[in-house]
């Protein structure tokens, strides 16, 4: 289990991370969200032992993270951290040995993952000759080849097409099943919603929202009503508590302040011809935008 307790980090007068705390249990996927410059990279670097926090502690299974246990951590960075002149095999051996593995084990696991991702033929190709998507697969394999206890995934799906995203999702869920604790960072909220049980949203190094995703969504007052049928947008907009009415090709999305407004909306359209009326929780994306925006306004 990863325990981050009250960590802070500053660069000169600039406070990059301010008293951040969270826990990631075994087999749990944790979302670390924030805009660019929010302090995510600094947090990752502190977890990886690359930077020393000014205060607070980070432990993995009760042990302080240092070079004696970094072999148990995997890291997939946002940018492709590959030496492009090396072949896939050379690159994986290089990173694997630095993780304390033997060449034999590295090659065995590499073959398994290449097979899984359907890129066996690239084993002896130079990385610079691979497509962006395939380079991303190699980077992912490099991050997990040591079967880490803790895996940090920073924007793992960038540059991937939907088929490869699905492939990665399956691989991530497989690692979770095996008990790997995963910290996941992405700007695509649908990915966070899909994977993460718990999350933290950072703004300028400070936590603005944290907790279990289900609870966050439940506690968030604003809801959306999805309607299909004949309605008057102007009429709906006049109802107190209706924030916005968005018309799409398929349906109408009515954003409301709280669950109490649902009844008023239903009453207003009840005499119309309606084929769909669904109340749903706000998306993580909406929550994120509001929380980050609020924080900037303060």
Q: CA-CA distance, 2 to 48, in Å (whole number)?
A: 11
Residues of span 113-142 touching other proteins by CB under 8 A: 142
Binding mask 10-29 for other proteins (x = CB under 8 A): -xx-----------------
Least distance (Å) from other proteins to the CB of residue 181?
16
Q: What is the sign of the dihedral through the CA atoms of 283, 291, 9 and 53?
A: negative
Candidate ranges 92-100, 176-184, 230-238, 263-271; the one touching other proteins (CB under 8 A)? 92-100
Q: Which residue, 83 or 243, has its beta carbon nearer to other proteins? A: 83
C-beta separation of 202 from 292 below 8 A? no
What is the rounded distance in angstroms from the CA atom of residue 266 to the CA atom of residue 260? 11
Q: Looking at 6, 52, 257, 294, which residue binds other proteins (CB under 8 A)?
A: 52
Provide, rounded to whole angstroms, the least separation between the CB of residue 83 and other proteins.
Answer: 5
One of 9, 40, 99, 137 touching other proteins (CB under 8 A)? 99
Burial class (CB in 10 A: 0-12, 13-18, 19+), 227: buried
CA distance 215 to 219: 6
Maximum Cα–Cα distance for the chain, whole Å?
Answer: 72
Does residue 95 belong to the site contacting other proteins (CB under 8 A)? yes
Q: Is 80 a binder of other proteins (CB under 8 A)?
A: yes
Of the candidate residues 2, 29, 73, 189, the single one contacting other proteins (CB under 8 A) = 73
Among 45, 89, 109, 191, binds other proteins (CB under 8 A): 45
Which pair of structure tokens corresponds to residue 34?
């924030």
| Rg of the Cα atoms in the chain | 23
Q: Which of 97, 120, 233, 243 binds other proteins (CB under 8 A)?
A: 97
Sign of CA pseudo-dihedral 37, 191, 1, 113: negative
| Interface positions with other proteins (CB under 8 A) | 11-12, 45, 48-52, 67, 70-71, 73, 75, 77, 79-85, 94-95, 97-100, 142
């Amino acid at each position: 289990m990863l325990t981050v307790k009250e960590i802070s980090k500053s660069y000169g007068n600039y406070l990059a991370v301010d008293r951040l705390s969270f826990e990631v249990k075994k087999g749990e996927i944790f979302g670390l969200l924030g805009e660019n410059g929010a302090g995510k990279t600094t947090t990752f670097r502190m977890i990886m032992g690359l930077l020393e926090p000014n205060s607070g502690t980070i432990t993995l299974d009760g042990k302080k993270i240092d070079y004696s246990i970094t072999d148990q951590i995997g890291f997939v960075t946002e940018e492709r951290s590959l030496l492009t002149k090396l072949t896939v095999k050379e690159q994986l051996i290089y990173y694997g040995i630095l993780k304390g593995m033997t060449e034999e084990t590295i090659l065995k696991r590499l073959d398994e993952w290449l097979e899984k991702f359907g890129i066996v033929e690239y084993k002896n190709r130079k990385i610079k000759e691979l497509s962006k998507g395939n380079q991303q697969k190699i980077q992912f394999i490099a991050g997990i080849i040591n079967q880490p206890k803790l895996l940090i995934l920073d924007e793992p799906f960038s540059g991937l097409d939907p088929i490869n995203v699905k492939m990665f999702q399956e691989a991530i869920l497989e690692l979770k099943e095996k008990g790997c604790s995963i910290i996941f960072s992405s700007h695509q909220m649908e990915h966070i919603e899909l994977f993460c049980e718990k999350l933290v949203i950072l703004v300028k190094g400070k936590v603005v929202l944290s907790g279990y995703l289900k609870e966050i969504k439940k506690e968030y007052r604003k809801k959306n009503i999805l309607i299909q049928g004949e309605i008057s947008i102007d009429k709906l907009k006049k109802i107190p508590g209706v924030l916005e009415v968005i018309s799409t090709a398929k349906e109408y999305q009515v954003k409301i302040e709280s669950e109490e407004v649902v009844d008023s909306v239903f009453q207003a359209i009840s005499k119309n011809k309606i084929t769909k009326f669904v109340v749903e929780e706000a998306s993580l994306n909406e929550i994120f935008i509001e929380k980050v925006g609020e924080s900037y306004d303060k």
